[in-house]
């Protein structure tokens, strides 16, 4: 069953269309010091190889703002400047050529300062993301709506939206992030019924590794399944490349995007006769750069293994000390257990190369 997405107006973040039926984009944020240009560029390039489509950078001071132009000149994906409190940093980021701003207009000073930023953003056709976070709600919103509630978050977002609309600025996207999934869900649902701007989804401070990915998948996945959401970020503690991997996994699980390897592997049980976990870990690590959507299976015994391996584009089914390699349902060869991961990786890369060669020949 296909998902009917909420209709929204469309904006552009650099070369990436957001909303208005455009594919849901996967975003991340660097955790390097933006002032360290080499480290930041290297991390953005790693993110781009993993499929990241938009990246956000912290801009805490003028030195970081000054680094943006040199960073942008060395990367190919759109850059969003994350601005808090100081409108001069927003102006400097715009001058550096960023593709988007993340700020709350009510937090950067009086009307004159907001107008200055909006005027420059409008002239450069740079969108602004209003980012409401449950951890930093205004006291007035909390007082009017009984504390940190979905209604308070929506009221905060609407206040900032009106500041921009009053200046005839409509290149807006909005996020309403919270660490508590039920609160985040309710806030997005309420706002989705009030505005037609594209929404950026995320569970903030989701945590590390598996726990953070699960929490994000529940919150983001529920809203996406309801048709809400135009961009996503999985906020994980640690290497931001894993945010991108998790983001595409969420979209793939709902049939919304197809990118990279979908890995099917058995949970292992007493019948397992090979090191499935070890094979899976190596396959995941070595094939992160594969963008072509492929289904790859790693199975550990003769009960479900051959059937699952045959249904994958490339699969391997383990037996006592060996693995049987399949490609598009046909057995390819038998390999020793210690060679299973290598053989599977090589077969995937061979398949990708052959398919790309065939496509190029048909162009």
- In order, the DSSP letters of 68-99 are HHHHHTT-SS-EEEE--S-HHHHHHHHHTT-S
- Whether 308 and 331 share a structural domain: yes
Q: Is the pLDDT of residue 304 over 70?
A: no
In a domain, 3, yes or no: no
Question: What digits encode the pLDDT tens for the residues 314-354?
Answer: 988 888 888 888 898 888 889 898 888 899 999 999 999 98
- Whether 138 and 223 share a structural domain: yes
| Distance (Å, whole) CA 320 – CA 301 | 8
User: Is 269 marked as binding a ligand?
Assistant: yes
> 56's torsion region: left (phi>0), alpha (psi -120 to 50) or beta?
beta
Amino acid 263: pLDDT: 86
In a domain, 5, yes or no: no
Q: Which of 254, 273, 290 is a domain's end point?
A: 254
Q: Is the pLDDT of residue 286 over 70?
A: yes
Q: Print the domain residue range for 332.
A: 261-362
Amino acid 13: pLDDT: 97
- Whether 271 and 188 share a structural domain: no
CATH of residue 182's domain is 3.20.20.20
- Whether 275 and 237 share a structural domain: no
Cα 336 versus chain centre, distance: 38
- Contact predicate 74/49, CB 8 Å: no
- Whether 249 and 272 share a structural domain: no
Average pLDDT over residues 272-288: 83
Candidates 85, 106, 92, 110; CA nearest to 34 is 92
- Whether 227 and 275 share a structural domain: no
**pLDDT class of 275 with cuts at 50, 70, 90:** confident
CATH of residue 270's domain is 3.30.413.10
- Contact predicate 251/293, CB 8 Å: no
Question: What digits encode the pLDDT tens for the residues 217-262?
Answer: 999 999 999 999 999 999 998 899 999 989 999 999 999 988 888 8
In a domain, 1, yes or no: no
User: Is 301 marked as binding a ligand?
Assistant: yes
In a domain, 4, yes or no: no
| Distance (Å, whole) CA 206 – CA 218 | 11
Cα 240 versus chain centre, distance: 10
pTM: 0.86
Q: Which of 217, 232, 254 is a domain's end point?
A: 254
**pLDDT class of 299 with cuts at 50, 70, 90:** confident
Question: What digits encode the pLDDT tens for the residues 177-226?
Answer: 998 999 999 999 999 999 999 999 999 887 788 888 999 999 999 999 99
Amino acid 72: pLDDT: 96
Amino acid 302: pLDDT: 62
- Whether 81 and 192 share a structural domain: yes
In a domain, 6, yes or no: no
Amino acid 305: pLDDT: 61
- Whether 266 and 249 share a structural domain: no
- Whether 307 and 203 share a structural domain: no
In a domain, 315, yes or no: yes
- Whether 286 and 194 share a structural domain: no
Per the structure, how many domains does the chain have? 2
- Whether 221 and 292 share a structural domain: no
In a domain, 295, yes or no: yes
- Whether 216 and 92 share a structural domain: yes
**pLDDT class of 278 with cuts at 50, 70, 90:** confident
Q: Which of 254, 272, 300 is a domain's end point?
A: 254
> 203's torsion region: left (phi>0), alpha (psi -120 to 50) or beta?
beta
In a domain, 2, yes or no: no
**Buried (b) or exposed (e) across 168-206, using 16+ Cβ within 10 A?**
ebebbbbbbbbbebebbbbbbbbbbeebebbbbbbbbbb
């Amino acid at each position: 069953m296909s998902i009917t997405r909420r209709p929204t107006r469309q904006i552009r973040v650099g070369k990436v269309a957001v909303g208005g039926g455009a594919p849901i984009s996967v975003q991340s944020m660097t955790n390097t010091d933006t002032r360290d240009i080499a480290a930041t560029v290297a991390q953005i390039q790693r993110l781009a190889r993993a499929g990241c489509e938009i990246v956000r950078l912290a801009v805490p001071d003028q030195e970081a703002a000054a680094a943006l132009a040199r960073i942008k000149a060395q990367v190919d994906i759109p850059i969003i400047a994350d601005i808090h409190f100081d409108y001069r940093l927003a102006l400097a980021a715009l001058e550096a050529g960023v593709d988007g701003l993340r700020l709350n207009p009510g937090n950067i000073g009086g009307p004159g300062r907001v107008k200055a930023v909006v005027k420059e953003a409008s002239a450069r056709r740079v969108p602004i993301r209003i980012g409401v976070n449950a951890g930093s709600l205004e006291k007035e919103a909390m007082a009017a709506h009984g504390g940190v509630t979905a209604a308070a978050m929506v009221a905060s977002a609407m206040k900032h939206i009106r500041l921009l609309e009053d200046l005839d600025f409509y290149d807006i996207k909005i996020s309403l992030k919270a660490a508590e999934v039920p609160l985040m869900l309710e806030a997005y649902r309420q706002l989705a019924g009030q505005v037609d701007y594209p929404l950026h989804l995320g569970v903030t401070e989701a945590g590390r590794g598996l726990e953070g990915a699960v929490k994000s998948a529940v919150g983001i996945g529920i809203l996406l399944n309801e048709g809400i959401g135009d961009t996503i970020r999985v906020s994980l503690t640690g290497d931001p490349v894993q945010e991108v991997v998790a983001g595409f996994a969420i979209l793939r699980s709902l049939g919304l995007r197809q990118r990279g390897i979908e890995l099917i592997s058995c949970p292992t049980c007493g019948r397992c006769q090979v090191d499935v976990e070890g094979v899976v870990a190596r396959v995941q690590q070595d094939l992160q750069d594969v963008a072509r959507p492929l289904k790859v299976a790693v199975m550990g015994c003769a009960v479900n293994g051959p059937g699952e391996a045959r249904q994958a584009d490339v699969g391997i089914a383990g037996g006592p000390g060996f693995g049987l390699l399949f490609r598009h349902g046909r057995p390819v060869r038998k390999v020793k257990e210690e060679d299973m991961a290598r053989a599977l990786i090589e077969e995937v890369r061979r398949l990708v190369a052959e398919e790309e060669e065939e496509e190029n020949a048909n162009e």
